């Protein structure tokens, strides 16, 4: 699949990325190489290969899920510098 500098420039504009001319050239070549490799992968014969989520036969070792008592709110909040009712009070970080 062919990819032009104009296409890369347009996508960079949409992503609000400023590319210098040499970066634009390099990015165009790299994207062309990636798309060419994808075309090669599309031609691979995979009809007789079963789908898999992992290449190795791995199974998770899981422990039994047994409920246990949680800590009391007073004990959890014991070392907090600031609390309100049963909650931690933290500074606002979203403007």
- Looking at domain 5-42, which CATH architecture does it have? Orthogonal Bundle (1.10)
CA angle 85, 89, 93 (to 5 degrees): 150
Question: How much is the pLDDT for 1?
Answer: 62
Question: How much is the pLDDT for 22?
Answer: 93
Question: How much is the pLDDT for 36?
Answer: 92
**Which residues make beta-bridge pairs with 83?**
88
The ranges assigned to domains in the chain are: 5-42
pLDDT per residue of the chain (95 residues) written in tens, 0 to 9: 678 889 999 999 999 999 999 999 999 999 999 999 999 999 999 888 888 878 888 888 888 989 999 999 889 898 899 999 889 999 888 87
Between strands 83-84 and 87-88, the pairing is antiparallel
Rounded to an integer, what distance in angstroms lies between the CA atom of residue 15 and that of residue 13?
5
């Amino acid at each position: 699949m062919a990819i032009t500098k104009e296409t890369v420039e347009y996508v960079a504009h949409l992503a609000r990325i400023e590319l210098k001319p040499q970066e634009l050239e390099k990015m165009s070549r790299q994207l062309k190489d990636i798309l060419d490799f994808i075309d090669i992968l599309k031609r691979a014969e995979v009809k007789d290969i079963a789908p898999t989520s992992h290449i190795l036969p791995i199974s998770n070792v899981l422990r039994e899920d047994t409920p246990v008592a949680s800590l009391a709110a007073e004990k959890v909040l014991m070392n907090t510098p600031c609390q309100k009712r049963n909650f931690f009070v933290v500074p606002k970080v979203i403007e």
